Amino acid sequence: MSIKEISPTEFNDFANNHLLKNFYQTKEYGELMSHSDFSVIYVGAFHKNVIVAASVILYKSIGPNMKYGYAPRGFLVDYYNDELLRVFTKKVKEFFFLKGFAFIKINPEISYSIVNFEDKSKTIISKNKSLIPVLKKYGYDKLRDNLYFESILPKYTPVIYLPTYDFNSLEQKMIEEMKLTELKGLHLVQGNTEEDLKTFYSFVESKDNKTLTYYKYLYNIFAKSEMVDLIKLDLSYEVYVKYLQKQYIFEEKRNEELNILFENNPNDMNCYNEKTESDKIMNNISSDISAINIRMRDNVMRETLAAALLIKHEGRITLVMAGYNKEFYGIDIKTFLFYKIIDEYKKANYLYFDMNGITADFTDKNPYKALNEFKLKFKPTVYEYLGEFDLIINKPFHQLLWSTNKIQKEFYKPAIKKS
């Protein structure tokens, strides 16, 4: 076996047919990261002139004449083929040792367990668990498992299998609310302009440290390969105002009935409270109608209330980021956005919806409890991956970097993000 640098196209031809294929291991992701502070190399392992393993390797300097590498979502190799893994690892270490690498970080997309949040249990996948001692044997250091989002990529991921997904498995109240929300004039729209990206960014700017420029690169690079969708959730004011008018008429009739009841029973506090609440509802509806009419007079006929970036890769859609207008009341925008994404991509015959990470903290003190509960209400399967490993390429380099805290500083991520 020999390790060689290969072209991005040659890499994609192999990667897109591999069992562990994922969008992180593509030339598109490599190109995206080349616009950050990483450099990129694509390597293939050849046996009798045939590629048997490959990887995108992102790398950067971390000390004088020292580099580290990162294979996002792990090397594309058959981890269950012990001899292939052994030889491949040996050749990778030799190849990158000569290039001044101290280590290469991997985080394979291999499931360690399936997490059941209802009974707070895990079903361990023994075949995959047995890979950990094998990796350790061949020089991969297993890093400490995390509970929140300390690792580069989430360790816990909720995934929906779309072909058999049944909306009737959701809570009945939620289904009814989503059907009602659809009547209000909300619908998904494909975004494709710079203004659409700016709108998306206005919803997600405070969520992470990514810049608008990063998202522009991401969209433009993946769009060239038709691998990205910028989804907007638009509200038609014309439809929504008609819905509100109907609601006002309904509430007005109810209000009149409550008024009569209260006049006949002035000491009935339940009736009084219902009447007061009905007054508030009517005032809110009236205010919303007035505000929308003003916008429509200014020829503003629709508003984008939410947006999401999705990567499409080999039958799987992966949520990159989503955000919504938190100041718009009266509609559960966030739930409807995810509901419609599932619905639309199920109809389009996609296989999986990767909802991006959650945490494994089962307690009520979990600072990400709301995030967990939101995604889990869609009844996904939650996978726990094997975690992060460092393949030590040059032990003295690695020890020096560790003893001088350079590795710790490079990869430090707070367990809990500040709001």
Pick from 112, 31, 41, 107: which is nearest to 74 by CA? 107
What token pair was written down for 126?
A: 């023994």
What token pair was written down for 86?
A: 């052994």
Mean pLDDT for each consecutive 10-residue tract of the chain (419 residues)?
97 97 97 94 96 98 91 98 98 97 97 91 95 97 84 94 96 94 93 95 90 96 98 94 93 92 89 92 90 86 94 97 85 95 98 94 87 95 96 94 86 55
- The answer to whether 241 and 293 are in contact (CB under 8 A) is yes
**pLDDT value for 10:** 97
**pLDDT value for 23:** 97
**pLDDT value for 418:** 45
Phi–psi pair at 138, nearest 5 degrees: -100, 15
Please tell me the distance from the alpha carbon of residue 13 to that of residue 314, in angstroms, as a whole number: 12
* Displacement of CA 145 from its chain's centroid (Å): 20
What are the distances in angstroms from CA 107 to CA 4, 132, 153, 227, 390? Answer: 22, 12, 8, 23, 9
**pLDDT value for 80:** 97
Report angle CA 5, 9, 15 to the nearest 5 degrees. 85
**pLDDT value for 416:** 46
Quick check: helix, strand or coil at residue 61? strand
Exposed, middle or buried by CB within 10 Å (0-12, 13-18, 19+), for 349? exposed
